[in-house]
Structure 1
Amino acid sequence: MSTRDDALKFAYWVPNVSGGLVISNIGQRTSWTPEYNRKLAQIAEKAGFDYALSQIRFTAGYGADNQHESVSFSQDLLAHTEKLKVIAALLPGPWNPALAAKQIATINHLSNGRIAVNVVSGWFRGEFAAIGEHWLDHDERYRRSEEFIRALRGIWSEESFTFRGDFYRFNEYSLKPKPVNPQPEIFQGGSSRAARDMAARVSDWYFTNGNTPDGLRAQVEDIQTKAAANNHKVKIGINAFAIVRETEEEAKAVLQEIIDKANPEAVEGFAGQVKNAGKASPEGEGNWAKSTFEDLVQYNDGFRPNLIGTPRQVAERIVTLKEAGADLVLLGFLHFQEEVEYFGKHVLPLVREIEGARARETVVAG
């Protein structure tokens, strides 16, 4: 776990859906089963990870034929760990904020405050159609998510909560017991204007897709400027897929194999869905607006931060992401259990070493 308040935080994607985190036929030793994930959570906790992020899927697609529900799965991981925080994905529409607030408050007590939530606004129209949920226009989905977050906060903090929104209504609602303080952290993703503006108003954390340091810096400056104007503070998490090997050549060979064995039909299908979602935003951009075929082999542009190489190379690039404004790196791996353990032994100590050296340089320069 991170020891300094300004230390970069680390999270990993919980593989609670089948198929791993790449749309490729390359062999993977990752499993979506509860047994595998319980052991993985314990490995990650020991390795020094701060958070685990469970995924929410309702329908099969792009290799994810099986999906465990995020909230109940998160609770199971919490029951098998002692310090790790678990972020459960919630999707407004299927979830009502009253149910979500009560679920999370209870898990908050069961886990001694280690549950957090990731409010997902939704991009897959076919999934909503499959489960009979009304599909909203792009910015309307973010307006609903913002009301959802405001409702969670109000229910968790106010003795008698009344709210009159366009999507949710509450009349003197009192939830007891409330979560132990501090309230559960609220994460959110998206790269559109609506997503960034929502983060700058209400979210504790903003997740962005993988990006270069310069691209990340531009996003962070945009969000933090708006957040400051709103008298709000938000932290930034960036997605990345790590391939760490003893040599750079070996790491690059693994990346090339992933891409060479990509499932073209599945990647193109995913690309069509996500790019249509992005084009639906008023500015015509979303999370995957500039993603190439190779980028989309990893769902969330995880190759773009280039965490591909030796432990020293990856550690230096991670600290560069921190200097660009990242407070957390959300990681995916090919073979989760062994690679999370390797990352904890060989990369995290170097990150802390480089962080300390840069901090001392700053003090001397100041």
Structure 2
Amino acid sequence: MSQSHHSNNPIKFAYWVPNVSGGLLVSKIEQRTGWDIDYNRKLAQIAERSGFDYALTQIRFTAGYGAEYQHESVSFTHALLAATQKLRVIAAILPGPWHPAVAAKQIATIDHLTAGRIAVNIVSGWFKTEFTAIGEPWLEHDERYRRSEEFIRALKGIWTQDDFSFFGDFYRFHHFTLKPKPLQQPHPEIFQGGSSRAARDMAARVSDWYFTNGNTLEGIKAQVDDIRAKAAKEGHAVKIGVNAFVIARDTEAEARAVLNEIIEKADTEAVNAFGHEVKQAGKASPEGEGNWAKSTFEDLVQYNDGFKTNLIGTPEQIAERIVALKAVGVDLILTGFLHFQEEVDYFGQRVLPLVRELEARQVDKVAA
């Protein structure tokens, strides 16, 4: 994909929906972030007004790592869509507990109820304890991705074909026709995460969007290049979203002080337990390199390595780093914050306009 593709398309912004308690940090630092619906409705409206394109809900069935309470993702997604006009909301769906026919029907209905603004994030699962707790078989690493890939193929088939038949190892369909089909053409967008080879290979074949954990610019570039090359071989194009925990403050010193306090007040026991669980899931990938394979204690304080992306500092510093991410092929920044409502608002007022300014300058350069 050429450089000009990126300079012509404004980079998009999403935020993690705090529909589970504890915010997005395994830390005992004070957070003015609520997991309840009133807080989240207001947050969605602030995000929409601030120029965010997407919100991403989380799926958890059981407590763990500071997330004592969790609202279910699809119903919560619908509530946020009902409270907004333009924001697109991505519902997290976990193959295993969900069947593709149920998910396809749920999402198609919500698509009609919200003028085509719902998307899905197919999560392959890393939390073994949770699967055991609800009596779901726990598949080994690459099998989970094989099942997710069948799940996505089934969703796409149901959403785009009549008389759909599919004979996979995990799912079977015999002449199934869903009516009404979703409003969105060809179908609601399909997001997917993961850092392992299996995750990237699957995205290259079937997903519209691939979310990667936070990383350095070089690390992200290597992943983007790999997935783009693989997708091109499949005659497919994948857009890339990168996770980033944003700490934007008037001065760099203030931003760094916040980061230090988050890490100092980390819930050590919870971080270590989380680290054990995710590293076990990552080690299980054949190359031993799943998500979090190289994460330090500090990285694990923020789910999905959000500090590594380094969107920490002044609005100017952060805007420049965002444009640098765009230059290596990133299409979307998936953001987390400490105090969501206030910080999403600050980001919309102080950071986003600078990003758009820098992008416009790039376009002018290309045109000249």
TM-score by length of 2: 0.97
Q: Within 5 Å, which residues of 2 pair with 1:85-124?
A: 85-124=88-127
Q: In the alignment, which residue of structure 2 is the partner of 1:195?
A: 199
Residue type matched to 2:82 in 1? Answer: A
> Any unmatched runs of 5+ in structure 2?
1-6
Please state how far the C-alpha of 1:5 moved relative to its aligned partner. Answer: 6.4
Q: Secondary structure at the match of 2:303?
A: coil
Residue type matched to 1:117 in 2? Answer: V
Whether the 8 Å contact between 2:111 and 2:184 is mirrored in structure 1 is: no
Matched residues in 2 for 1:61 and 1:174: separation? 39
| Offset from partner CA, 1:207-266 (integer Å, 9 cap, x none) | 000011110000000000000000001000000000000000000000000000001111
Matched residues in 1 for 2:299 and 2:152: separation? 30
Please state how far the C-alpha of 1:187 moved relative to its aligned partner. Answer: 0.1
Q: In the alignment, which residue of structure 2 is the partner of 1:21?
A: 24
Q: Secondary structure at the match of 2:305?
A: coil
1:305 aligns with 2:309: yes
Q: Secondary structure at the match of 2:205?
A: coil
Q: In the alignment, which residue of structure 1 is the partner of 2:64?
A: 61
Please state how far the C-alpha of 1:325 moved relative to its aligned partner. Answer: 1.2
Please state how far the C-alpha of 1:363 moved relative to its aligned partner. Answer: 2.6
1:146 aligns with 2:180: no
The percentage of counterpart residues that share the same residue type is 72
1:227 aligns with 2:231: yes
Q: In the alignment, which residue of structure 2 is the partner of 1:339?
A: 343
Whether the 8 Å contact between 2:246 and 2:337 is mirrored in structure 1 is: yes
Please state how far the C-alpha of 1:360 moved relative to its aligned partner. Answer: 1.6
Matched residues in 2 for 1:181 and 1:293: separation? 42
Q: Which of 259, 266, 270 is residue 270 of structure 2 equivalent to? A: 266
> Any unmatched runs of 5+ in structure 1?
none
Whether the 8 Å contact between 2:124 and 2:148 is mirrored in structure 1 is: yes
Matched residues in 2 for 1:232 and 1:323: separation? 21
Q: In the alignment, which residue of structure 1 is the partner of 2:51?
A: 48
Matched residues in 2 for 1:5 and 1:86: separation? 24
Q: Within 5 Å, which residues of 2 pair with 1:177-192?
A: 177-182=180-185, 183-192=187-196
| Offset from partner CA, 1:113-156 (integer Å, 9 cap, x none) | 00000000001110000000001010000000000000000000
1:348 aligns with 2:357: no
Residue type matched to 1:167 in 2? Answer: F
1:244 aligns with 2:222: no
Q: In the alignment, which residue of structure 2 is the partner of 1:212?
A: 216
Q: In the alignment, which residue of structure 2 is the partner of 1:167?
A: 170
Whether the 8 Å contact between 2:81 and 2:117 is mirrored in structure 1 is: yes
Matched residues in 2 for 1:210 and 1:38: separation? 27
Residue type matched to 1:142 in 2? Answer: Y
Residue type matched to 2:258 in 1? Answer: V
| Offset from partner CA, 1:17-43 (integer Å, 9 cap, x none) | 000001100000000000000000000
Q: In the alignment, which residue of structure 2 is the partner of 1:76?
A: 79
Residue type matched to 2:215 in 1? Answer: N
Residue type matched to 1:123 in 2? Answer: W
Residue type matched to 2:288 in 1? Answer: G
User: Where do 4+ consecutive residues of structure 1 move more than 4 Å?
Assistant: none
Whether the 8 Å contact between 2:14 and 2:54 is mirrored in structure 1 is: yes
Q: Secondary structure at the match of 1:330?
A: strand
Residue type matched to 1:258 in 2? Answer: I
Q: Secondary structure at the match of 2:135?
A: coil
Q: Secondary structure at the match of 1:83?
A: coil
Please state how far the C-alpha of 1:181 moved relative to its aligned partner. Answer: 2.9
Matched residues in 2 for 1:16 and 1:280: separation? 28
Matched residues in 1 for 2:247 and 2:228: separation? 30
Whether the 8 Å contact between 2:8 and 2:363 is mirrored in structure 1 is: no
Matched residues in 2 for 1:287 and 1:94: separation? 22
Matched residues in 1 for 2:30 and 2:248: separation? 17
| Offset from partner CA, 1:292-348 (integer Å, 9 cap, x none) | 110000011000011110000000011111111110000000000000000000000
Matched residues in 1 for 2:47 and 2:142: separation? 36
Matched residues in 1 for 2:258 and 2:178: separation? 50
Matched residues in 2 for 1:89 and 1:5: separation? 30
Q: In the alignment, which residue of structure 1 is the partner of 2:3?
A: none
Matched residues in 2 for 1:203 and 1:265: separation? 36
Please state how far the C-alpha of 1:104 moved relative to its aligned partner. Answer: 0.1
Q: Secondary structure at the match of 1:200?
A: helix
Whether the 8 Å contact between 2:193 and 2:210 is mirrored in structure 1 is: yes
Q: In the alignment, which residue of structure 2 is the partner of 1:35?
A: 38
Matched residues in 1 for 2:13 and 2:184: separation? 22
